[in-house]
Every structure is written in C-alpha cells, then in structure tokens.
C-alpha cells in the first residue's frame, strides 16, 4: 500500500514463496494446459531471462516473442504486441502477457503511460498479465519513476480496474537487498475468479513454505527500519551508498562502452544489468561460425580466456536476428566496475583490430 499510494492490498491475495521464479512457474501451471489444442501461448519479451523461457517450454506452452525496441531505449510498444499476437494465429492460443519492469537484461523502466497502454491492450485481448517487478527498487534515471502495474490499474478505474487479471512478482533476492542465497519472494494476485483462487491456494499449499531466513529477509525488505528505530540511520546510510554507487556505475558504463568502436549501449534506467549491442566485423562472425559458436558467445569466450572477465552473450536471452549483445551486472562496487571496464576496453580494442 505504501508503494502504490494507498491502493488496498489484501493478505488473502498474497502468497509468500521460495523465490519469484517459483511463484511464476506455479501461476503458469494454472494458465497452461499442456493437452490443449492449440497449445497455450504466452507473449514473452525479447530479450528475456532464459529461466522463464525454459519454464514455459517445460510446461508445454508456446513462447510468443515480442521484441523490445532497442533504438528507443528498449521501449515496449503496443504495435509490437499486436504483431506478436497476430503471429500466433493458427499456432497457439495466447492467454497471457509476460512483462518485465524494470527490464532484465535490457535495463529499461516503463513510463506510467506505457504501463497503461499495456493494460489496455491486455484488457482488449483478454490476456492475463504477468508482471515481473523484482527490480522495482533499482531505478537510476533522473526523470525515471517505477509505477507498479497494480497501481496503474487501480488508478485507471472501472471497468479495467475490476476485470484485468494480474499477477505481480517480487523477491528479496534482487534489488537493494540482493540476498540471492535467501530464496524468498511473493506473488500478489488481482481480479482472479474466486474458484481459480481456491485452486491456486491448494496448489501453493502443497509445496513447502519459504525457508525461515528467507522470510526474515523478505520482511526486512517490505518493512524496513523507520525513523526512530535504532538501525534507521545505518539503514539509510547503506541504501544510499548502494544507490549512489550503482548510479555512478551506470554513468561509467555509458561513458566507456559508448566510446569504444563497435559498441552501442542504451542508457540503463533500472534493473541490475547492462546489455550493450556489439557490432562485430565479418571476419569475427566467420571465425565464430567455423568454431560452431554464436558470434557473441565467441566474443565472450575470448574475453574470459584473455582478460579473465566472465560476461553473458546476448544469445542466452534472445535478440533480433543479426544483432549481438553482451550482458553484465552493474550491481557491484565502483572499483570492481572500473577494473571490469578497463579489462573489457583493452580486450575489445585488441579484438577489433585482430578481425578488422
């Protein structure tokens, strides 16, 4: 309620779970009918974290990709959602729309207007909204604000606020907490039919609850120290230090990566990763093909072997055909980020010269 400006939140609609991915998989289990013909489709962003795509595939769903517009800061455009929906005709029956805000790995943050447009689209097409909002505390743009799908939906008022079905996911293992070893998160459900809620309650109850330490971490994240509490000043000091450090990392990534030939990086507005585009010389792509690798995988392997830097290739997350990317975390100390950028710069210049 604090996050959403007072929009009511009801305990019976919230399920604590051992991580947001666990919750997402269970909600997908309710949505996806593996025996249906045509099969269930889920509109999924590109790029997208690979675990979500794997979960959909294992459940028997069809991944219906929609592409974020990189040239516009990885914007989510309704026209692209419509194109993806049209592409599913005769292939599957799209029932859900999965969105990641702030983006992973692309680092965008949707505006209030963008969120509202997506909600209207979901309502018109009768799609269940799956909102992955685990990086909601990680927003760095000066004029950027996180607006939850639940808040935007409530503010839009009836009839949309009464009928658009929504599942919102959050976790203690991301964001400022970053307690990846303590697996605990929650899903909040909005506007679901009572009969479906009974089924979800039974489904979630058959699994063990989140570990106690994880629940403690989640409680600290959702109910942090308040003014007057003994630990309040230390909490403010530490969280401000994290925000300042990451904001400086974002600035340095923008300066360094965009100064290198063959690189283009959209400004990171939120999330925990940078996802710059890599323009590789034809000789490099040919060498990668000869080695049986995707070009960005070839680049990352060389980077690891020669510079001791481990990054992820964009092919692991999906990307437009003919484009290549790399992904790396910005949630680290200033000195580590500077060392990463130094090694990457030296390697990249040498690599580009070798294959020019």
DSSP-H helix ranges across the chain: 20-31, 50-59, 78-87, 112-125, 149-156, 160-163, 194-205, 212-222, 232-257, 282-290, 295-307, 334-355
CATH 3.90.1150.10 domain extents, the chain: 232-355
> Between 282-290 and 334-355, two packed helices, what is the crossing angle to 10 degrees?
90
Q: Give the dihedral sign, CA 309/262/351/254.
A: negative
Task: Look at residues 304, 284, 303 and name the one whose alpha carbon lies nearest to residue 294.
Answer: 284
Residue 152, pLDDT score = 98
| Mean of the per-residue pLDDT values of the chain | 95
pLDDT recorded at residue 266: 96
Residue 187: name the closest of 133, 143, 146 by CA.
133
Best CA proximity match to 175, nearest among 102, 92, 277, 281: 102
Share in percent of the chain as helix, strand, coil (round to 5): 45, 15, 40
Q: Which CATH architecture has domain 11-222?
A: 3-Layer(aba) Sandwich (3.40)
Share of the chain above pLDDT 70, in %: 100
Span 95-105, average pLDDT: 96
Which pLDDT score is estimated for 255?
97
Specify the 3-state DSSP secondary structure of 134.
Answer: coil
Band (333; pLDDT cuts 50, 70, 90): very high
Residue 128 DSSP one-character state: E
Tokens of 121: 């689209």
CATH code, residues 232-355: 3.90.1150.10
Q: Quote the pLDDT of residue 265.
A: 97
- Local structure of 227: helix, strand or coil: coil
Distance CA 111, CA 118 (A): 11
Render pLDDT for 144-179 as a digit per residue (tens, 0 to 9).
999 999 999 999 999 999 999 999 999 998 888 888
Query: Which residues have C-beta within 8 Å of that of residue 31, sequence separation ≥ 6?
Result: 40, 42, 61, 95, 96, 128
pLDDT greater than 90 at residue 205: no
DSSP symbol at 143? T
Q: What are 252-310's pLDDT values in tens digits?
A: 999 999 999 999 999 999 999 999 999 999 999 999 999 999 999 999 999 999 999 99
Q: What residues does CATH 3.40.640.10 cover in the chain?
A: 11-222
Is the per-residue pLDDT at 208 higher than 80?
no
pLDDT band at 233 (very low <50, low <70, confident <90, very high): very high
pLDDT reported for residue 269:
95
Rounded average pLDDT over 220-232: 95
Report d(CA 7, CA 1) in Å as an integer: 5
- pLDDT at residue 234 in the model: 97
H or E segment and range at residue 315: none
Judged against a pLDDT cut of 90, whether residue 180 lies above it is answered with no
| pLDDT of residue 141 exceeding 80 | no
């Amino acid at each position: 309620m604090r996050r959403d400006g007072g929009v009511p939140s009801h305990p019976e609609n919230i399920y604590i779970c051992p991580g947001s991915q666990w919750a997402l998989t269970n909600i997908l289990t309710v949505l996806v009918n593996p025996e249906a013909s045509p099969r269930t489709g889920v509109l999924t962003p590109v790029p997208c974290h690979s675990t979500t795509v794997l979960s959909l595939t294992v459940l028997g769903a069809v991944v219906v990709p929609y592409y974020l517009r990189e040239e516009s800061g990885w914007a989510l455009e309704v026209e692209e959602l419509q194109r993806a929906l049209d592409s599913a005709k005769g292939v599957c029956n799209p029932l859900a729309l999965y969105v990641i805000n702030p983006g992973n790995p692309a680092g965008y943050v949707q505006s209030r207007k963008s969120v509202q447009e997506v909600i209207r689209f979901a309502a018109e097409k009768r799609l269940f909204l799956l909102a992955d909002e685990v990086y909601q505390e990680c927003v760095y743009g000066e004029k950027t604000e996180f607006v939850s799908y639940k808040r935007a939906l409530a503010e839009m008022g009836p009839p949309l606020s009464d009928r658009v079905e929504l599942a919102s996911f959050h976790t203690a293992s991301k964001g400022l907490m970053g307690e990846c070893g303590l697996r605990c998160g929650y899903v909040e459900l909005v506007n679901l039919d009572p009969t479906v809620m009974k089924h979800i309650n039974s489904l979630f109850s058959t699994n063990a609850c989140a570990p106690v330490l994880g629940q403690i971490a989640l409680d600290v994240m959702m109910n942090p120290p308040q003014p007057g509490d003994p630990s309040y000043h230390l909490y403010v000091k530490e969280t401000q230090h994290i925000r300042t450090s990451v904001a400086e990392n974002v600035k340095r990534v923008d300066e360094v990566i965009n100064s290198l030939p063959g690189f283009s990086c959209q400004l990171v507005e939120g999330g925990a990763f940078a996802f710059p585009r890599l323009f590789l010389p034809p000789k490099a792509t040919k060498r990668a093909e000869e080695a049986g690798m995707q070009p960005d995988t070839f680049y990352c392997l060389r980077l690891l072997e020669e510079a001791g830097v481990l990054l992820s290739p964009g092919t692991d997350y999906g990307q437009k055909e003919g484009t290549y990317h790399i992904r790396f975390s910005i949630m680290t100390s200033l000195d580590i980020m500077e060392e990463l950028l130094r090694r990457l710069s030296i390697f990249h210049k040498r690599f580009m010269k070798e294959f020019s």
